[in-house]
Amino acid sequence: MMLPVSAAALSDRRLLPEVRRVVVKVGSSSLTDGTGKLDPARLRALVDVLAARVNGGHQVVLVSSGAIATGMDPLGLAQRPRDLATQQAAASVGQGLLVAHYTRAFHEHGLRVGQVLLTADDTMRRTQYRNAQRALERLLDLGIVPIVNENDTVATDEIRFGDNDRLAALVSHLVHADAMALLTDVDGLYTGPPNREGSRRIAEVRGPKDLDGIDVSARGSRVGTGGMVTKLESVAIATGSGVPVVLTSAAQVAPALAGEDVGTWFAATGKRASTRLMWLAYAARTHGRLVLDDGAVTAVVERGKSLLPAGVTAVHGEFEAGDPVEIAAPDGTVVARGLVAYSSQEAPDLLGRSTTELRAELGEGYDRELVHRDDLVLVRRRR
């Protein structure tokens, strides 16, 4: 018997049948009919494939949209609501119905499900991030299929993901998934809009250069929130942290997970980072900004040094010691994120001064870094 293949060894989609743990994200458009209402037949077809994989000895985490769409019909809504309050109401009604459908469908295969509702805030605060991680791991250990969704009922504009594509990428890292499958209403990434003459499917993407010249401007469906742009952002988060991705339609989930040449395969481009740095890079909501001089930018970005007070020229925002902040170059370009060691009230008095000066004047404890290297992650510059 072949041993399970880890994400680190998963360089070829043909090895997908052997991986132990996969995160599968399905969008609202893949679960609804032409009127935007939940289509139980589509849901059952997806569950049939995922259940077969679980019963074959593998683990699946399902990140499922569809709560708002499921709640539209009971509330008499003809189209997806745009205001937050009505979205919350529809999600409140629809989430229970959606999970009930999943519960029945998986039960037919002898499997149980567990509902996990998350907001962006749950992945921004380290303690909640760890709690979510432990809960998901325990569910998987118990043989339960976690059904993850954004908690639309309580989420606010400030703390919501906005779509489940990014959530799926963060969950993939959270549970140390070996691969992620993004299921949408198109069968893969194309060189242009799929209905445009001459557009062709891209079978494989090995790096960012393979996406040069690709037109992904088409918007998402009327019952979903994410288009191809959000999916590629999700792919970048996952692949950049060592998790390969297959993007295809829900109708092709079986051959996709079987490693066949369907959809688009995105190879991992980076190494799996620590959970702490992943949280800081992609999930943490920053509370302020530190502006650096050119020398400090070089020290942090090119030489891998901690950020000292002497290299900071300005402090913006309000934050407490331990909060995540942006770290910016003189021109405003964000070059890193980090956990600051001082509050926004303390930091301004430290700027431009060496640790030796601070220790001599203020005493022990004030000679520490403003942001330690272990609490700092670089951010790719936009060109």
Looking at the predicted structure, is the pLDDT value of residue 110 above 90? yes
Whether 315 contacts 309, CB under 8 Å? no
% of residues, the chain, pLDDT over 70: 86
Looking at the predicted structure, is the pLDDT value of residue 381 above 60? no
- What is the set of domains in the chain, with CATH numbers? 7-278 (3.40.1160.10), 286-378 (2.30.130.10)
CA-to-CA distance for 378 and 372, rounded, in angstroms?
A: 13
CA-to-CA distance for 318 and 308, rounded, in angstroms?
A: 19
CA-to-CA distance for 99 and 166, rounded, in angstroms?
A: 21
Q: What is the pLDDT of residues 322-369, one digit of tens each?
A: 889 999 999 999 999 999 998 999 889 888 888 788 777 877 767 788
Ramachandran area for residue 66 (φ above 0: left; ψ -120 to 50: alpha; else beta): left
Bridge partners, residue 146, by sequence: 114
Buried b vs exposed e over 324-348: b needs ≥16 C-beta within 10 Å? bbbbbbeeeebbbbbbbbbebebbe
Burial of residue 6 (CB within 10 Å: 0-12, 13-18, 19+) is middle
Tokens of 63: 């990140």
Looking at the predicted structure, is the pLDDT value of residue 313 above 90? yes
Q: What is the pLDDT of residue 244?
A: 94
% of residues, the chain, pLDDT over 90: 44
Q: What is the pLDDT of residue 34?
A: 78
Looking at the predicted structure, is the pLDDT value of residue 160 above 60? no
Quickly list H helices, the chain.
Answer: 40-55, 67-72, 84-107, 120-124, 126-141, 164-174, 228-240, 253-257, 275-278, 294-301, 355-362
pTM of the model: 0.79
